[in-house]
Structure 1
Amino acid sequence: LGGLFFQMIENEQSLDYVQSVYWGAVTVATIGYGDVVPKTPSGKIYTVFFSIFVIPYYFFVSSILWTSLAIFAHWSMKKLLGIPTKQKILSNFPTWKQNLVHFAPAILAVLCFFVSIFCGAVIFSTIEGWNYWEGVYFCFITQATIGYGDSAVETRAGQIILIFYSFWSITTMGALITSFQTVLRTKRHQRSRYIKQELSRQLKTLVDQLEEESKEEFN
């Protein structure tokens, strides 16, 4: 719908509907290759309001998708490790199993990120007539939402695929950042817990020694 309005406002550019939707996709994904842009004052004003209202919703939907995938990653890792899927407290299991369950979303995020780049490179290089490494470069700047503008799709097929690919790019990049933040928090929590346990152990040892010394002096 946003693309349709953009097409109507920017009628001087003679954009078709696919190009207009493509513009909307790269705008809300904050990529902005610079190949399809508003040129009229009304088009630029529309772009401002379109971005303000649609970008947050776009990221909200992608976060819901990633949350679902993260839950699936936890569930799958538990199944793989033989841990009951409804088990929430994992302290009774080996540390390496606990870590794998905690880091399952991060593992999935990294996997999705690289699969998206290398598989996307095959698709776009085939459609656009690029060599494979140009496709890898294009997919990376898309995933990272950089969009320099030196590389952009030109075919209708490429634009249609990119409409969906841009949404997946936002999801995987957000997942990658969120997952690594979770990993760092988990490691910090584990280290803090280890320090507390070690201090408690040393304190208990010291108390026991003092008690022993007190008994010896009393005797």
Structure 2
Amino acid sequence: MQDWGISVLFEGRNFIRLLEGLGVTLEISLLSVLVSMILGTGMGVLMSINSKVIRFICRIYLNIVRIIPQLVLLFLAYFGLSKSFGVNLSGELAAVLVFSFWGIAEMGDLVRGALNSIPKHQYETGLAVGLSRRQLYQYIIIPQTIRRLLPQTINLITRIIKTTSLIVLIGVVEVVKVGQQIIEASRLTVPSAALWIYGVIFILYFIICYPISLLAMKLEKWWEV
């Protein structure tokens, strides 16, 4: 077992440290997802109204987010703000701001697409049969929007979780950073440690993301019944 390098996982607190790093990853991911879902939904509604100015501003925002890589946004937030404007952000806060900034735009576009995909005659028919606007959205529009949003939203959540691995480059001690520290400390005694450490990190990400995908599939089947 020593030759394979798996023993490095159980030396001292190495495995516990990986789990603690995973906790940091999950904390940043969950905060970013929560902000993205709430504000992104509002942005999607704004993008669906008949205001050319609002839609233009939202489209510019969306294009900026899609053009600039998340890593560049992280560097701008963490290094750029502190150097140019004297804003002292922690790596964790910078990560939450950047991933929320990205997630809000993506979620907004998903909501806009789901709302616009519902035929206009359903709005007109609902109002024609005497439904109030609240009832129209509660019983007709929102249920259909959620069904259409679910697969893309689950995909966005898993993307945010996986993309948080980039924060290792701004010094945040999350699961990948902890793995690098363990590998560096064991490079002479256990040369094959990288295989096992990164293998465990892969499994941890899989354990987090796969159940989310399963939940989405079950919800889709439940709604189809």
State the TM-score, normalized to the length of structure 1: 0.32
Q: Which of the two has higher C-alpha Rg?
A: 1
In terms of fraction of residues, the more helix-rich structure is 2
State the TM-score, normalized to the length of structure 2: 0.31
